[in-house]
Amino acid sequence: MNNGPVVVAFCCNYCSYEAADRAGSAKKNYPENLRIIRVPCSGRVEPEFIVKAFENGADGVMILGCHPGSCHFKTGNHKAYRRYLLLKEILRAAGIDEERVKLDWVGASEDDKLVRVSTEFVEKIRELDTGGG
Amino acid sequence: MSYMSEQRIGVYLCECGGEISNKVNLEKVTDAIDARTITLPMLCTPEGLEEISKGISEFTHVVFAACTPKRIEKTFEDVVKKANLNPYLTHIVNLREQCAWVSEDKEKATDKAIHLIKGALRRIAYHEPLEEKYIDANPDVVVVGGGVAGVLAALTLSEDTNRRVYLIEKNPHIGGKTITYEDLTPNLTCAPCLLAPPLQDVLGKPNVILYTNAEVEEVKGTLGNFLLRISQKARYVDVDKCIGCNACIEVCPVNLPNDFEYRMKERKAIYFPYAGVLPNAPVIDWQNCLYEKERCQKCVESCVFDAINFDDMQREFDLKCGSVLLSTGFSTYPVREGGRIYSSPKFERLLAKNGPTEGEIVLPDGNKPKSIAIVHCAGREELGYCSKICCSVAMKYSHMIHEQLPDCEIHHIYTDLVLPEMHSKLYNEVSKFARFHRSSKFDVREDGGVTVEYTDEEGNQKLNVDMAVLMSGIMPSPELKKIAEIFDLKLNEYGFLEVSDMKLSPVETTSAGVLAAGGILGACSVEESVQQAVAAAGKVLSKLRHGEKLFVDPKVCTVDEEKCSGCKFCIPLCPYGAAVYEEEKCTIDETLCQGCGVCASACPAKAIEARHYTTEQIYAEIEGVTK
């Protein structure tokens, strides 16, 4: 069964994971391709996690954290952002299209944003796959 | 993992009354996964939980595929614990909110469910039992600062008579700034009348130990177990023996300006800062006392209680406690004062019945002023913020002036009036007799009288008055930097103490077990100080209970000493100061760590493990959800 691309989303416990739960409670659909992994903070996401996801056949990876200034752990999201920039360099060197990784801020109340960014991202990955990206 | 073969993993699938099973084909899920599965109509109902507790003992690890862990985690934890299984050997798959409820395609949702459960199955193989630790905690509290916030906090904390409360005050007396005021806004309550009972109370409490003339010098430890080094200056008067009879003061031959009264009054070398001070015992100003120079002992001779002790010395001692509450107050913007130009704190003393003029509003020459300008916002531009309480205080001044000198002209030069709720009532009254001039700029100078220049809508204006009061802005106290350094705390952009979370933890500092209340956190009224003080006391009371241990969450980060190279990468990254460098290795204090895992992600030697979110657990979950 081919259900299209596989997208791993690392969601921080306090904001984006909560937003995903709210999207569920509001029965707002988004592509089934999204596989959420709960982490305490976006600052817990190691660049190696993303590499590992690609190694295992993921087509795209999202890192969704709290908005700057709203991190439950104060500044974990800032650290995630710094690592994200570094990660893009690594991916470029490894020949992986950097567009296959996306970091975004999703607040706990932003279920609409979670649905929108994940839907758009899955679409983007689909385009990259069909377009030979 | 060596014991992998011995693992017996069970998967409980919840139909959630059709909410999950209508969207996800659970039979197909059962067929697709390589583990023993049990499907129940509702895991969270009493019947469901009963079923779980009956069957769970045959498993070493359990996956619950149900609703969001945020809702159900605690319920499953309880049932698992009752079955003597370590709760960290379980994992919850969010099959409802993050799968069934966000899909309309049963086939795709089923495939997603299978992958999410596979992720959990792979992950759980790496789960290890974690031990929930409880550490001994000292219920005693050190309160630093004996102003209205510190005193009210100490009183609240001392309700539990098993708890010792140490109150550290840098001045020879308690009561802070509030006790120096006559009336308080907005209801014009008499401050000494209001404060006398709690101040007397705190002195009389057997479990409150007051150290005046004292400061904190050093801090070790953390929440539950602090060790504080205190230094205490000599007072030369035994507070326990002295009855405050004044006999010593009458005979002292030294006359000096009293700084506590803004030099509007004289004092002796042995003195009370002002009348009615508590503790009711004087203090000796050693630098100006004639004992060392001339062997003057007049005060000693006059004291029938043998309370004066010239051999008193500065001393240092340690205090142990489980929590610290900081309430060292604020300071006021240093305005340019003159004979007829008063800063607001100095004017407060002029209004005070126990002040230098016994509350009479007089000019330095003894005459009564016929006109007074109250200039708002002194220092606002330099400080960069509105101090929010001064407008109301200015209204109070107007009211008190008018009451005493009904014919005195009163002018307010202001930029904005910050007078919420009750405070606007005071304005309504004052606006009947005082004149208000709105101006963003002003200049005040003394030239025989006082000239106030300001600019209003009609241009530059000049006002000649007999007296001016400058409403000094509220600023951090000068000793706050030292306190922040000692306690390793952060200051905000205005130099006040930063709290852990402005909204949800407004009285908790960035260090666990260190709370704060009152002017140390920013400009605030007496009632706000008290609210914060009592809130902070409540935080302590709920955390440190006598005879109870302190729970330490096992989901924290730990360092593998063998792997740690001592590079110190983790130390500046930790937002809680939990990572420290000791004996060429980095270590993490489990009582301070909040488990965010930022250090684990950054450690170049991979020596740090974020428990329950370990790298191998997350790798395994990635494999499961992708393959």
pLDDT at B242 over 90: yes
- Specify whether B264 is located in the same domain as B403: no
> Would you say residue B612 has pLDDT above 70?
yes
Q: Taking a C-beta distance cutoff of 8 angstroms, is the pair A64, A81 a contact?
A: no
Establish if B91 belongs to a structural domain: yes
pLDDT of residue B139: 95
Residue B512: predicted pLDDT: 87
- Examine the pLDDT at A133 and tell me if it is beyond 50: no
Nearest to A35 among B112, B596, B601 (CB): B112
111-130 in B: which are within 8 Å (CB) of A?
A: 111-112, 115-116, 119
Residues in chain A: 133
Domain range for B257 is: 247-302
Residue B402 shares a structural domain with residue B263: no
Q: Are residues B527 and B383 in the same domain?
A: no
Q: Rounded mean pLDDT of chain B?
A: 95
**What CATH number does the domain containing B587 carry?**
3.30.70.20
Q: Does B420 share its domain with B356?
A: yes
Residue B527: in which H helix or E strand, if any? helix B526-543
Note the CATH number of domain A7-130: 3.40.50.960
How far apart, in whole angstroms, are the C-alpha atoms of residue B103 and residue A118? 14
Q: Tell me: do B190 and B325 sit in the same domain.
A: yes
% of residues, chain B, pLDDT over 90: 90
Q: Are residues B589 and B518 in the same domain?
A: no
- Give residue limits of the domains in chain A: 7-130
Q: What is the pLDDT of residues A15-48, one digit of tens each?
A: 999 999 999 999 999 999 999 999 999 999 999 9
Q: What band does A1 get if pLDDT is binned at 50, 70 and 90?
A: low
Q: What is the CATH number of the domain that holds B47?
A: 3.40.50
Residue B508 and residue B413 share a domain = no
Q: What is the pLDDT of residue B592?
A: 84
Q: Is residue B307 part of a domain?
A: no
Instruction: Using pLDDT thresholds of 50, 70 and 90, give the confidence band for residue B1.
Output: very low
Burial class (CB in 10 A: 0-12, 13-18, 19+), B542: exposed
Instruction: Assess whether B444 and B508 both reside in one domain.
Output: no
Predicted ipTM beyond 0.90: yes
Assess if residue B407 is contained within a domain.
Answer: yes
Q: What is the pLDDT of residues B477-531, one digit of tens each?
A: 999 999 999 998 989 999 999 998 889 999 999 888 999 999 999 999 999 999 9
Kindly give, in sequence order, each residue whose CB lies less than 8 Å from that of residue B343, ignoring residues fewer than 6 positions away: B262, B332, B334, B335, B337, B378, B469, B470, B472
| Element at B588 (helix H, strand E) | strand B585-588
* CA dihedral over B140, B142, B148, B151, signed as positive or negative: positive
To test the contact with chain A by mutation, choose from B596, B603, B619 the residue with the greatest count of A C-beta atoms within 10 A, namely B596
Is it the case that residue B3 has pLDDT exceeding 80? no
Question: What is the enclosing helix (H) or strand (E) of B126?
Answer: none
Average pLDDT over residues B345-354: 96
- Residue of B68, B510, B601 to mutate, interface with A, max A Cβ within 10 Å: B601
- Quote the distance between the C-alpha of residue B39 and its chain's center: 49
Residue B263's pLDDT is what? 93
Where residue B432 sits, what CATH number does that domain have? 3.50.50.60
Torsion of CA B384, B390, B391, B396, to 10 degrees: -170
B173 and B207 co-located in one domain? yes
Q: Given this model, what pLDDT does residue B440 score?
A: 79
In-domain check, residue B229: no
Co-location of B514 and B607 in the same domain: no
In sequence order, what are the residues at sequence separation of 6 or more whose Cβ sits closer than 8 angstroms to the Cβ of residue A114?
A16, A19, A20, A23, A30, A64, A106
Q: How would DSSP label each residue in chain A?
A: ------EEEEEETTTHHHHHHHHHHTT----TTEEEEEES-GGG--HHHHHHHHHTT-SEEEEEEPPTT-BTTBSHHHHHHHHHHHHHHHHHHHT--GGGEEEEE--TT-HHHHHHHHHHHHHHHHHHHHTT-
DSSP result, B455-476: EETTEEEEEEESEEEEEEPEEE
pLDDT tens for each residue of A46-81: 999 999 999 999 999 999 999 998 898 889 999 999
Name the nearest CA neighbour of A17 among A60, A66, A75.
A66
CB atoms within 10 A of CB B99: 27
- Residue B258's pLDDT is what? 95
Within an 8 Å CB–CB cutoff, is residue A35 touching chain B? yes
C-beta neighbour count of B384 within 10 angstroms: 10
Please report whether residue B311 resides in a domain.
no
Query: Considering its fold, how many domains does chain B have in total?
Result: 5
Instruction: Kindly state the DSSP code that residue B131 receives in the 8-state scheme.
Output: P
Whether the model pTM is above 0.80: yes
* Residue type for position B103: S
DSSP B564: -
The predicted-structure confidence for B143-201, as pLDDT tens digits, reads as follows 999 999 999 999 999 999 999 999 999 999 999 999 999 999 999 999 999 999 999 99
> Which pLDDT belongs to residue A47?
93
Q: What is the pLDDT of residue A132?
A: 52
Q: Are residues B502 and B599 in the same domain?
A: no
Residue A109 reports pLDDT greater than 50: yes
Q: Do B97 and A25 touch (CB under 8 A)?
A: yes
Q: Do B116 and A35 touch (CB under 8 A)?
A: yes
B427 lies in the same domain as B516: no
